[in-house]
Amino acid sequence: MYQFSGKLKMLAIILMAVGLLGTILSFVNTPSSLEEAKAILAEQEASHHGGHGSSHHGDDSHHANPVNKAEDKHVTNHKEETKDSYKSETHSEESHSEDSLKVSENHDVVTKNNLTVKNEEHSDSNYNAISNEHNSEGHAEDTRLTDSLNGYVADKVHANPSHDVAHSAHDTDHGDHHAEHVFHQMQNRPWSAVYVSLLFFLGITLLVMAFYAAQRIAHAGWSVALFRVMEAITANIHYVSVFMLIFIILTVMHKNHLFPWMAEGTFTLGHENYDPIVDGKKWWMNVPGWAIRSVIYLAIWNGFRYIIRKKSIKQDNGDLKLHKNIYNLSVGFVVLFMITESMMSWDWIMGIDPHWFSTLFGWYVLATFLVSALTVICLVTLYLRSKGYLPMVNDSHIHDLAKFMFGFSVFWTYLWFAQFMLIWYADMPEETVYYALRFKEYIVPFIGMLAFNFIFPILLLINSDFKTIPWILVIGGLFILVGHYVDLFVMIMPGTVGGQWGFGIGEMSAFLFFLGLFIYATFTAFSKANPVAKGNPFLHESETHHYYIIEHRGEDNNAHH
């Protein structure tokens, strides 16, 4: 039986303590008032000369409708007032123009102020008479009046002092609105930091559970030696689910602004926050439905893990009926997993950018978490093997894990390119807006994650021999985990904090906290059961598992320890 070492347990507790203190500090340092946010924004604009800190006026996607409506209303009202003034000063010219254009009561009435033509009832003969008599003269007069009106409006716009006052007031309103938006982004940053790390470790745990269920369904022999490692990792689902449930409750209580569609008035016609696009999705995007679905996801995942772990430990007694029972449970879970994982990605990630959508997004999120999950299985296995607790695990098992890491890294890259290429080629505004923001504010992490998630795994894992060398796998695994953390970071942060992002105390602290929690949950669970699933009928196959190339080069289980 494995004993959870005191040093490792202390490390986990220290990570959680440091992470918790740093997270609390990040919340305390968040601006508590709009005035503080304005002061920070002014500092950013001064230090960056209108660059990184002041380039977010175009980022007000969450509040774009009210500003645009107010600005349009201001411009329209000003034009109407100017036209009325113009009518009074040029009454004689307009009267002359209208007299020359009017032929009879049943003929066309041309209104020059609005530049529109109303067609009254007329006969073909009257219409022909008008066309012949006034075609050239009316067109010239129409052009003259239009040019005169446009010139007069332009003069009044720049000469009228009241316009300057109104324009100044509008600029002030827009500045306040932008400051309020940035204030919400600053308040969102510690929440977003916690959310990214929480979702990252929850996703890894969930995909380890899905991979475990797939091995059960396939009656895989090679991976039986790793079953207890995977079961131990999945114990983390209980811990992170508690934090996810707390987050869901606080979000529903509007303690954060991570999901813009939850803002007051989003679905209320006539409200300044009304969003017709989101309103069309209210059958899915509504707070009660979002909360209920979220709880159902967590209940299904936690329920399966609890039952499967209990039956797996009982199977150590050699009851083959339990093996069939676990198989049936795994089949049902995989079906539910594929449904809930896609819905989870829509609710918890894509919902942050409610105007955007992608039919590949569920698969993309699955690939992100799956590569990370396989990497974590490999790293935990290498650690336990180095301590002598997995004597049955040989280089062939590690080689197979590395093959999965390599293969699904390529699969992730395929999905990344497919999603990006299709959106770029179609060039539809409602889709390209997602990448436009990321290329504008997040270009370094956006491009950098491609190197971490594709280039490094390819270079390090394409060689068959490298797939069995622990230090290469550890380095490659760290690149993959960092890359996919950044991948999730880029999915969430642009829609929650805009340009107010960074890798600071809040982000690092949240990651350390959930890393410590993961270590504590995993190795505590591993210490509570036999390291080997003794009752599994395919155990002998796993024990004698050998990869052909490794076997014929002279495998030594201890050569790379």
Q: Where are the domains of the chain?
A: 58-171, 187-551
* Dihedral angle sign, alpha carbons of residues 146, 149, 152, 158: negative
| Integer Cα distance of 199 and 268 in angstroms | 31
The amino acid at residue 113 is N
| Integer Cα distance of 154 and 551 in angstroms | 85
Give me the pLDDT at residue 559, please: 47
| Integer Cα distance of 88 and 85 in angstroms | 5
Give me the pLDDT at residue 176, please: 62
Cβ atoms of residues 53 and 499 within 8 Å: yes
Give me the pLDDT at residue 124, please: 43
Give me the pLDDT at residue 103, please: 33
The amino acid at residue 19 is G
Residue given tokens 């490298």 in the structure block: 466
User: Crossing angle for the helix pair 470-496 and 161-217, nearest 10 degrees?
Assistant: 140
Give me the pLDDT at residue 430, please: 84
| Three-state secondary-structure class, residue 55 | coil
Give me the pLDDT at residue 147, please: 46
What are the strands, taking DSSP E only, across 177-216?
A: none
Q: Which residues of the chain have pLDDT under 50?
A: 51-167, 169-170, 555-561
Residue given tokens 């970071």 in the structure block: 489
Give me the pLDDT at residue 80, please: 45
**pTM over cut 0.75:** yes
- What is the chain's length? 561
